[in-house]
């Protein structure tokens, strides 16, 4: 066989240049085997699968623009008196970090544009990760074998938040400096080691001269380095697992239906990068972000009203704002619960969503691989939990902007704070109950549709005067889509006394597990999908209903 | 099962996943009305059957790419033409930098058109036939797993890791200790806290200087209802450590009718109703800057902690955990001055604050 192939090659004469380059690379890198597996790899299509792409592309945009910004930015807290081209700031004392940010904005042609693209892309990146994560959550795409990739994604989200925070702190303007002061207060609130950590991180008392250069290293090297590694791992796993797909005709757990990487996905995904980049460039052209020149340099004794962090820090900000000011003095030591509790709740809430895949698989005892996505309605408990989590998150975003809510809607700040305090606990419970109801209602509707067909909107008058609406039966494809999901039965502990009358000890964890399993698959938490018998009985006998 | 103490203590077959597979066969009725009809037949697009439409698509894609080229030329032109400080009015964006606006728009169009062209090309001209690929389980086949375990056992055995405990334990010891050097190296990141967080720059006899006029304050400078910010005399903006010092020394002064001062110590530490409080919020250190004359409340704009300056700086709302520290002041030679440093540390609380 191989002889024959080489014979044809020789007959053809010298191979084309591209092929020769590829041959060279294959001899050293083995690219042909790699390409064989991946060049025509199938990717399923759905608009929501673009959310992850938005994250990837905005990350690339951030790296590109960030490298440009480092060419002009001076991460130094040495003080200078400003004499640059922005006249209103003449004679103002500021750090070199702030001065160079002004220079980027007013003296480097296109510098302002790149700064704004960088910042807008960061907001899009974080928002994209959040929405992408929700897509993965609500469709159950995190299930085996993708739990590890879910964690990689989660880490990217968390690291993204801190990269964003250290990034917007770098200009050393009045707003970001206030954010850094906030961090100092948070560090001081850590029991036992707080003041030591504060001294070590800031290189002395606040603000000192070290924090901006240190944040710079963290922002441009440490965090992006880790994120790049995680991102590559995330993508490798996406390729390795192959993408999930929504259920539908011809789509099973053992196949992947879509279009090949070359050419369709190459063109669509590659094109999408340019769409995202172009979109962000236009936003950066028309919408100012973080106008540090209007805010001024940081001074620890000055502040502006309406100070807000970037949106992804709003959740933590809300926790800190609405927490009651509890502070204990015990044996000469101060524990500042007013700050400590929020900074403990913050990671706990995040971790709750991160470990969810493992909790769900433990409860349900599900050890199968899942490549077909769930429709959110078919997993009411999971969907309810996700909406509850989002509710807590958005309630705290309201808390984080309580001053803006107060001034824009003429509300009392005290009332808003109390609303947030209560809603943080009550809101998620209500959201859970309501969401689950809605899911079950949608399941009922699916069942109706399968058994009785689609409402056609055509009203028919029967000979005896009765009006009925004509229902059109669904086609095979829709019938399959609406009934393909599994409805596992809940775990049962079984009889605790065996046939010989010997009692079997059931550990408490198993009882809890059985109970939770009821919460997922129990009678009240699932609408049994129509069976073939039901369907046949209804469709065979008497026409429309 | 229970007597061997199996990890689950629940028969595996009662778990949903196991029962699922057990039932799987039964569910499949021969004439299942819900059976998967398989991939729907490919529907041709107009471009697949009409060469004219295909050529139209081709022209659209080419036009988008061409537009991108023009936009890039426009980008370079804008870079050359517009001076960096030119401000123009563009509805509805208002007064914007001509350079930023034109560079952003041309770059945006140049990039967007490449993307739009590529996507249009993919959607209209490349094959849109869906194909199915097989998936393979991620888990390795049992024989692969067996081979790996065998290899590992072989390797572990050859290393003598399990048998030569001395090597194993000393290696663990060495590996556990070696990161200590990196921890030690971090020591010089900063000084030890010692008493640094306790005292401020205020001392007996230091005059209060108005932040906005840079002149020493006299009692008559402070009117009822006004809010005055002060710093210690001798602290200048040009000082190397100005930010560090002002982060602790910043003061706010208000004048309250002495009969309205509810706190006894506050009255004793005031002068003719003039009270001096630390401007640094006890929550996380924001400077407090909003004063309500009628109630003598001050509000921190960062997290809305509210303090009552007529009642010892007590917290009346918000997340702050303790009252604002008051500076004991008096008058000497007609000027306000400090009697001593703050009695307690200013700013956010910390473990050693006590």
Query: Is B117 in CB contact (< 8 Å) with chain A?
Result: yes
Each domain of chain A, given as residue ranges in start order, spans: 2-38, 42-302
Tell me the backbone φ, ψ of residue A453, rounded to 5 degrees: 85, 180
- Average pLDDT along chain B: 90
- As a whole-number percent, the residues of chain B with pLDDT over 90 amount to 86
Each domain of chain B, given as residue ranges in start order, spans: 46-124, 208-338
For chain A, list residues with pLDDT below 50. Answer: 1-9, 543-545
Query: Is B279 in CB contact (< 8 Å) with chain A?
Result: yes
For CA atoms A446, A452, A458, A461, the dihedral sign is: negative
- HEC secondary structure over A462-519: CCCCCEEEEEECCCHHHHHHHHCCCCCCCCCCCCCECCCCCECCCCHHHHHHHHHHHH
B260–chain A nearest CA distance, Å:
25
Distance from C-alpha of B251 to C-alpha of B245, rounded to nearest angstrom? 12
Query: Is A191 in CB contact (< 8 Å) with chain B?
Result: yes
B255–chain A nearest CA distance, Å:
20
Residues 412-451 of chain A whose Cβ lies under 8 A from any Cβ of chain B:
413-414, 417, 450
In Å, how far are B143, B323, B332 from B273, measured between CA atoms? 88, 19, 16
Of A109, A184, A275, the CB nearest to B115: A275
Q: Give first-to-last CA distance, chain A, whole Å.
A: 65
User: Mapping DSSP to helix (H, G, I), strand (E, B) and coil, where does residue A372 land?
Assistant: strand
Q: Where are the alpha helices (DSSP H) in B213-310?
A: 242-249, 264-268
Please tell me what DSSP assigns to residue B290: E
Residues of B in contact with A239 (CB under 8 A): none
* Contact assignment for B352 to A476 by CB distance below 8 Å: no
- Strands B306-308 and A454-461 come out as unpaired
Peptide bond into B92 cis (omega under 30): yes
Residues 83-102 of chain B whose Cβ lies under 8 A from any Cβ of chain A:
84-85, 93, 96-97, 99-102
Half-sphere exposure at residue B178, Cβ-oriented, CA atoms within 13 angstroms: 6
- Strands A333-335 and B274-278 come out as unpaired
Look at B217 and B2; give whichever has higher pLDDT: B217
Query: Is A499 in CB contact (< 8 Å) with chain B?
Result: no
Are A147 and A361 a contacting pair, CB within 8 Å? Answer: yes
| Token pair for A47 | 């608009």
Q: What is the pLDDT of residue B15?
A: 56
Residues of B in contact with A534 (CB under 8 A): none
> ipTM strictly over 0.95?
no
B130–chain A nearest CA distance, Å:
5
A375–chain B nearest CA distance, Å:
17
Distance from C-alpha of A132 to C-alpha of B177, rounded to nearest angstrom? 42
Are A456 and A469 a contacting pair, CB within 8 Å? Answer: yes
Peptide bond into B79 cis (omega under 30): no
Distance from C-alpha of B62 to C-alpha of B120, rounded to nearest angstrom? 10
Query: Is A301 in CB contact (< 8 Å) with chain B?
Result: yes
| Token pair for A487 | 């409805």
**Cα R_g (chain A), whole angstroms:** 29
Q: What is the pLDDT of residue A11?
A: 54
Residues 146-185 of chain B whose Cβ lies under 8 A from any Cβ of chain A:
none
Residues of B in contact with A504 (CB under 8 A): 2, 9
- Strands A93-95 and A328-330 come out as unpaired
User: Mapping DSSP to helix (H, G, I), strand (E, B) and coil, where does residue B52 land?
Assistant: helix
Residues 13-52 of chain A whose Cβ lies under 8 A from any Cβ of chain B:
41-42
Provide the CA A132 distance to its chain's centre, in angstroms.
5
3-state helix, strand, coil in chain A (%, to 5): 65, 10, 30
Q: What is the pLDDT of residue A84?
A: 92
In Å, how far are A95, A196, B86, B237, B246 from A211, measured between CA atoms? 12, 15, 35, 20, 17
Are A416 and A401 a contacting pair, CB within 8 Å? Answer: no
Distance from C-alpha of B271 to C-alpha of B329, rounded to nearest angstrom? 7
DSSP per-residue string spanning A396-430: HHHHHTHHHHHHHHT--HHHHHHHHHHHHHHHHHH
DSSP per-residue string spanning B82-137: S-TT-EEEETTTEEEEHHHHHHHHHHHHHHHHHHHHHHHHHHHTS----EEEE---
Residues of B in contact with A481 (CB under 8 A): none
Which own/partner pairs from B223-229 qualify as long-range (CB within 8 Å, at least 24 positions apart)?
B223/B255, B224/B255, B224/B256, B224/B257, B224/B273, B224/B293, B225/B255, B225/B293, B226/B254, B226/B255, B227/B252, B227/B253, B227/B254, B227/B291, B227/B298, B228/B252, B228/B253, B228/B254, B229/A301, B229/B253, B229/B279
Residues of B in contact with A450 (CB under 8 A): 34
Q: What is the pLDDT of residue A507?
A: 87
Query: Is A498 in CB contact (< 8 Å) with chain B?
Result: no
Query: Is A269 in CB contact (< 8 Å) with chain B?
Result: no
B208-338 maps to which CATH number?
Answer: 2.102.10.10
Residues of A in contact with B292 (CB under 8 A): none
Q: Which residue, A66, A225, A240, is CA-closest to A156? A: A225
Are B307 and B316 a contacting pair, CB within 8 Å? Answer: yes
* Contact assignment for A286 to B352 by CB distance below 8 Å: no
Q: What is the pLDDT of residue B325?
A: 96
Are B288 and B307 a contacting pair, CB within 8 Å? Answer: yes
Structure confidence by residue, pLDDT tens digits, A254-295? 999 999 999 999 999 999 999 999 999 999 999 999 999 999
Asked whether the predicted pLDDT for residue B282 surpasses 60, the reply is: yes
Query: Is A480 in CB contact (< 8 Å) with chain B?
Result: yes
Chain A residue with the nearest C-alpha to that of B109: A278
CATH architecture, domain defined by A42-302: Up-down Bundle (1.20)
* Contact assignment for A323 to B319 by CB distance below 8 Å: yes
Structure confidence by residue, pLDDT tens digits, B148-168? 999 999 999 999 988 999 999
Query: Is A323 in CB contact (< 8 Å) with chain B?
Result: yes
* Contact assignment for A182 to B302 by CB distance below 8 Å: yes
Of B34, B102, B301, the CB nearest to A303: B301
């Amino acid at each position: 066989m191989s002889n024959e192939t080489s014979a044809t090659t020789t007959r053809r004469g010298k191979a084309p240049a591209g092929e020769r380059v590829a041959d060279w690379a294959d001899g050293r890198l083995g690219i042909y085997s790699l390409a064989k597996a991946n060049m025509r790899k199938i990717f399923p299509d759905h608009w929501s699968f673009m959310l992850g792409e938005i994250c990837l592309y905005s990350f690339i945009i951030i790296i590109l623009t960030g490298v440009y910004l480092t060419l002009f930015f001076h991460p130094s807290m040495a003080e200078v008196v400003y004499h640059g081209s922005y006249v209103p700031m003449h004679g103002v004392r500021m750090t070199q970090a702030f001065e160079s940010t002004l220079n980027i904005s007013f003296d480097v042609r296109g510098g302002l544009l790149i700064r704004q693209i960088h910042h807008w892309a960061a907001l899009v990146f974080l928002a994209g990760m959040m929405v992408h994560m929700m897509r993965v959550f609500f469709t159950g795409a995190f299930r085996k074998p993708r739990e590890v990739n879910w964690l990689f994604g989660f880490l990217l989200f968390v690291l993204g938040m801190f990269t964003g925070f250290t990034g917007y702190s770098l200009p050393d303007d009045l707003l970001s400096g206030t954010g850094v002061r906030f961090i100092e207060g948070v560090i001081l609130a850590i029991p036992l080691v707080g003041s030591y950590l504060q001294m070590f991180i800031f290189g002395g008392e606040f603000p000192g001269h070290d924090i901006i250069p240190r944040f710079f290293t963290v922002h441009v090297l440490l965090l992006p380095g880790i994120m790049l590694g995680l991102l590559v791992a995330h993508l490798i796993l996406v390729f390795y697992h192959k993408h999930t797909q929504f259920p539908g005709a011809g789509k099973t757990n053992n196949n992947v239906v879509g279009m090949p990487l070359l050419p369709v996905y190459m063109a669509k995904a590659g094109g999408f990068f340019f769409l995202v980049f172009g979109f962000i460039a236009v936003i950066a052209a028309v919408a100012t972000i973080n106008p540090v020149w209007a805010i001024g340099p940081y001074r620890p004794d000055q502040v502006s009203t309406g100070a807000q962090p970037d949106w992804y820090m709003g959740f933590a900000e809300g926790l800190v704002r609405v927490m009651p000011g509890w502070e204990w003095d015990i044996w000469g030591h101060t524990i500042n619960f007013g700050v400590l509790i929020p900074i403990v709740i913050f990671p706990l809430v995040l971790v709750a969503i991160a470990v969810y895949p493992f909790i769900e698989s433990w409860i349900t005892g599900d050890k199968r691989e899942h490549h077909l996505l769930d429709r959110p309605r078919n997993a009411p408990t999971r969907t309810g939990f996700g909406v509850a989590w989002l509710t807590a998150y958005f309630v705290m975003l309201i808390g984080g902007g309580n001053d803006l809510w107060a001034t824009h809607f003429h509300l009392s700040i005290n009332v808003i704070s109390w609303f947030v305090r209560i809603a943080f606990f009550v809101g998620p419970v209500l959201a859970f109950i309501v969401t689950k109801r809605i899911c079950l209602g949608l399941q009922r509707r699916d069942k109706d549709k399968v058994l009785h067909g689609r409402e056609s909107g055509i009203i028919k008058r029967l000979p005896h005067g009765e009006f009925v609406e004509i229902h059109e039966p669904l086609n095979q494809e829709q019938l399959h889509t609406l009934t393909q999901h599994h409805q596992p039965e809940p775990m049962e502990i079984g009889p605790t006394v065996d046939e010989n009358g010997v009692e079997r000890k059931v550990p408490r964890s198993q009882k809890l597990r059985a109970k939770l399993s009821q919460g997922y698959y129990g009678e009240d938490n699932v609408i049994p999908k129509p069976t073939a018998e039901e369907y046949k009985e209804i469709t065979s006998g008497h026409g429309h209903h | 099962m229970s007597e061997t103490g199996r990890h689950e203590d629940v028969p595996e077959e009662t778990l949903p996943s196991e029962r699922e597979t057990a039932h799987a066969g039964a569910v499949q009725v021969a004439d299942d009305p819900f059976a998967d009809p398989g991939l729907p037949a490919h529907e041709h697009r107009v471009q697949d059957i009409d060469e004219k439409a295909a050529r139209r698509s081709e022209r659209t894609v080419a036009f988008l790419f061409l537009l991108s080229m023009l936009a890039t030329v426009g980008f370079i032109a804008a870079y050359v033409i517009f001076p960096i400080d030119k401000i123009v009015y563009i509805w509805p964006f208002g007064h914007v930098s001509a350079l930023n606006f034109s560079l952003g728009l041309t770059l945006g169009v140049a990039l967007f058109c490449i993307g739009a062209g590529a996507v249009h090309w993919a959607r209209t001209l490349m094959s849109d036939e869906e194909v199915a690929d097989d998936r393979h389980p991620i888990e390795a086949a049992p024989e692969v797993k067996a081979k790996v375990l065998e290899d590992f056992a072989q390797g572990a055995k050859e290393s003598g890791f399990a048998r030569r405990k001395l090597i194993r334990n000393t290696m663990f010891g060495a590996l556990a200790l070696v990161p200590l050097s990196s921890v030690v190296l971090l020591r010089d990141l900063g000084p030890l806290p010692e008493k640094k967080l306790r005292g401020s720059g205020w001392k007996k006899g230091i005059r209060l200087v108005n932040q906005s006029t840079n002149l020493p304050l006299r009692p008559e400078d402070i009117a009822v209802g006004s809010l005055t910010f002060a710093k210690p005399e001798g602290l200048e903006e040009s000082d190397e450590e100005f930010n560090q010092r002002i982060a602790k020394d910043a003061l706010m002064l208000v004048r309250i009718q002495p009969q309205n001062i509810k706190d006894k110590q506050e009255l004793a530490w005031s002068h003719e109703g003039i009270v001096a409080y630390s401007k640094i919020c006890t929550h996380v250190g924001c400077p407090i800057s909003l004063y309500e004359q009628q109630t003598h409340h001050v509000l921190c704009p960062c997290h809305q902690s509210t303090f009552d300056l007529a009642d010892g700086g007590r917290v009346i709302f918000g997340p702050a955990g303790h009252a604002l520290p008051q500076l004991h002041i008096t008058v000497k030679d007609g000027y306000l001055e400090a009697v001593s440093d703050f009695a307690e540390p200013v700013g956010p609380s910390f473990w050693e604050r006590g």
